[in-house]
């Protein structure tokens, strides 16, 4: 699931977000947090932040920033972590 908290006025327009989500091929649900309620509840400070939550609802991993910024390898790391969590009982 994705949560989009707008940075700009254009990102507050639902139609713009829906169009962009389709454009970049996101197929999972995306919550539009126009008032920043979810952002505040999680104590967010940076766009983007990725959380990996286990089947018990616990945050197991967090990545702050773009997953592939400066070839950081975040996508591969997160994929590996997800595979590990899927194997847990």
DSSP code at position 79 = H
d(CA 4, CA 43): 15
Mean pLDDT of 14-28: 95
Q: Which residues pair with 51 in a beta bridge?
A: 62
Same domain, 86 and 69: yes
Instruction: Give me the phi and psi of 37, to 5 degrees please.
Output: -60, -50
Same domain, 52 and 72: yes
Instruction: Give me the phi and psi of 56, to 5 degrees please.
Output: -95, 0
Count of the separate structural domains present in the chain? 2
> 10 Å Cβ neighbour count for 32?
19
Q: Which domain covers residue 89, as residue numbers?
A: 45-89
Q: What percent of the chain has pLDDT over 70?
A: 100
pLDDT mean across residues, the chain: 93
Task: Say if residues 1 and 33 touch (Cβ distance below 8 Å).
Answer: no
Q: Tell me, what's the pLDDT at 89?
A: 83
Has this prediction a pTM greater than 0.85? no
Same domain, 35 and 50: no
Same domain, 68 and 35: no
Same domain, 52 and 38: no
């Amino acid at each position: 699931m994705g949560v989009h908290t707008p940075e700009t006025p254009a990102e507050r327009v639902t139609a713009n977000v829906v169009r962009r989500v389709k454009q970049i091929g996101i197929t999972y649900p995306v919550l539009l947090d126009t008032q920043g309620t979810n952002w505040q509840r999680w104590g967010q400070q940076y766009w983007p932040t990725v959380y990996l939550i286990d089947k018990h609802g616990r945050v197991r991993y967090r990545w702050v920033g773009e997953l592939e910024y400066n070839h950081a390898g975040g996508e591969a790391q997160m994929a590996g972590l997800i595979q590990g969590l899927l194997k847990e009982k």
